[in-house]
Amino acid sequence: MDRIYLDNAATTPLDKQVMAEMVNVMDNYYGNPSSIHAQGREVRTLIEKARKTVAGLLNAVPAEIFFTSGGTEADNTAIRCGIQAFGLKHAITSKIEHHAVEHTLDMLLKTGVIDKLSFVNIDAKGNIDYDHLEQLLKDNERSFVSLMHANNELGTLTDIERVGNLCESYNAIYHCDTVQTMGHYVHDVRKIKAHFVVCAAHKLHGPKGVGFLYVNHDIKISPMIFGGAQERNMRGGTENVYGIVGLAKALEMAYAEMEEHQNYIQGLKTYLKEKLSAEVPGIAFNGETDADKSLYTVLNVSFPEMEMGDMLLFNLDINGISASGGSACSSGSNIGSHVLTGIAADPNRPSVRFSFSKLNTKQELDFVVDKVKHIVEQNVSA
Quote the CA–CA distance of 368 and 304 in Å, as a whole number. 17
Q: How distant, in Å, are the alpha carbons of 51, 176, 198, 230, 338 from that of 245? A: 9, 24, 17, 16, 35
Query: What is the distance between the alpha carbons of residues 242 and 235, in angstroms, rounded to a whole number?
Result: 17
CATH topology of domain 16-256: Aspartate Aminotransferase; domain 2 (3.40.640)
- What pLDDT, on a 0 to 100 scale, did the predictor assign at position 329? 58
Question: Distance between CA 363 and CA 120 in Å, rounded?
Answer: 41
pLDDT per 10-residue tile (average), the chain, 382 residues = 92 98 97 96 98 98 98 98 98 97 98 98 97 97 97 97 98 98 98 97 98 97 96 96 98 98 98 97 95 97 83 92 77 72 90 97 97 88 52
Is residue 329 part of the annotated active site? The answer reads: yes
95 phi and psi angles, rounded to 5 deg: -85, 5
Distance CA 245, CA 238 (A): 14
Residue among 102, 148, 146, 151 at smallest CA distance from 125 = 151
User: What's the confidence (pLDDT) of residue 382?
Assistant: 46
Q: How far apart are CA 196 and CA 192, in angstroms?
A: 10
Q: Any idea what DSSP says for residue 146?
A: E
**What is the reported pTM?**
0.95
Q: Hey, where are the domains in the chain?
A: 4-12+257-379, 16-256
Annotated active-site residue in 81, 167, 199, 329: 329
The Cα–Cα gap between 105 and 91 comes to 8
We find that the CATH architecture of domain 4-12+257-379 is Alpha-Beta Complex (3.90)
